[in-house]
Amino acid sequence: MRLRNKPWAKDMINDNLDLISVQPENMPGKWQDRFEKQQPLFLELGSGKGGFITELAKNNPQNNYIAMEVQEGAIALLLKKQVENKLSNLQLLLANGANLTDMFAEGEVSGMYLNFSDPWPKTRHEKRRLTYKSFLEQYKYVLEKDGYIQFKTDNQGLFEYSLISMNNFGMNFEDISLDLHNNEKLNEDNIPTEYEEKFSKKASG
């Protein structure tokens, strides 16, 4: 996903630093201080416009959530929603996910969400895929002992690559589905992203 530049984005971010962090290097071990309550902490890596994480936070007030996005234009749109909603269990983070261990303490996160990440299909870009072993190492560090990752993609190549990469890394799989929306068990609790809704409509239409 690529968005046009939003001229108003920087000012909006600077005016709402209580809702969004732009200096995560100061935050390892301190993320709970940004929330109203200390609760299990979950992270979405690559939140886009934030439809998924916003709905998740609304439905689960017993958890705290961080929406992490590298594109200023995208997170500014999410920030607009958060300014209106003022969800006390949702914080935003403008940062690159390649350096998670510099932003979170060991075992600080209870679970992670990877939704429709860039597949980086070319072999020379393998190390940029969010399920490459160097990323998995970082997830292992920031996740608590029984933490988990929820991964969704519409790209078959990335799906197959990720299964192999995660298996080789020694991860345990709880549920695997080739057709999430027709899987009654998994789809019951599924919260679609904006991209997911658009893709599903196109596939069914």
pLDDT tens-digit series, residues 124-179? 999 999 999 999 999 999 999 999 999 999 899 999 999 999 999 999 998 887 76
Q: Shortest CA distance to 140 belongs to which of 132, 150, 128, 148?
A: 148
Whether the CA torsion 167, 180, 123, 125 is positive or negative: it is negative
Give the predicted TM-score (pTM) of the model. Answer: 0.86
Instruction: Compute φ and ψ for 113, nearest 5 degrees.
Output: -125, 125
User: What is the model's pLDDT at position 182?
Assistant: 56
Which residues carry out catalysis? 118
User: What is the model's pLDDT at position 178?
Assistant: 74
CA gap 62, 37 in Å, rounded: 9
pLDDT confidence of 181, banded at 50, 70, 90?
very low
CB 169 within 8 A of CB 161: no
User: What is the model's pLDDT at position 183?
Assistant: 52
Q: Which residues pair with 64 in a beta bridge?
A: 41
- The first and second tokens of residue 70, run together, are 């590298």
CA gap 75, 184 in Å, rounded: 32
CA gap 91, 82 in Å, rounded: 9
- Cα 127 to chain centroid distance, Å, stands at 18
pLDDT digits (tens, 9 = 90+) for 31-78: 999 999 999 999 999 998 899 999 999 999 999 999 999 999 999 999
CA gap 159, 153 in Å, rounded: 6
pLDDT confidence of 187, banded at 50, 70, 90?
very low
What count of other Cβ atoms lies within 10 Å of the Cβ of residue 151? 19
CA gap 107, 144 in Å, rounded: 4
Q: Which residues pair with 66 in a beta bridge?
A: 43, 91
Task: Evaluate if residue 180 carries a pLDDT over 90.
Answer: no
Q: Looking at residues 179-183, what average pLDDT do you find?
A: 54
Q: Position of tokens 């600080």?
A: 108
CB 60 within 8 A of CB 66: no
Q: Shortest CA distance to 163 belongs to which of 154, 155, 173, 150?
A: 173
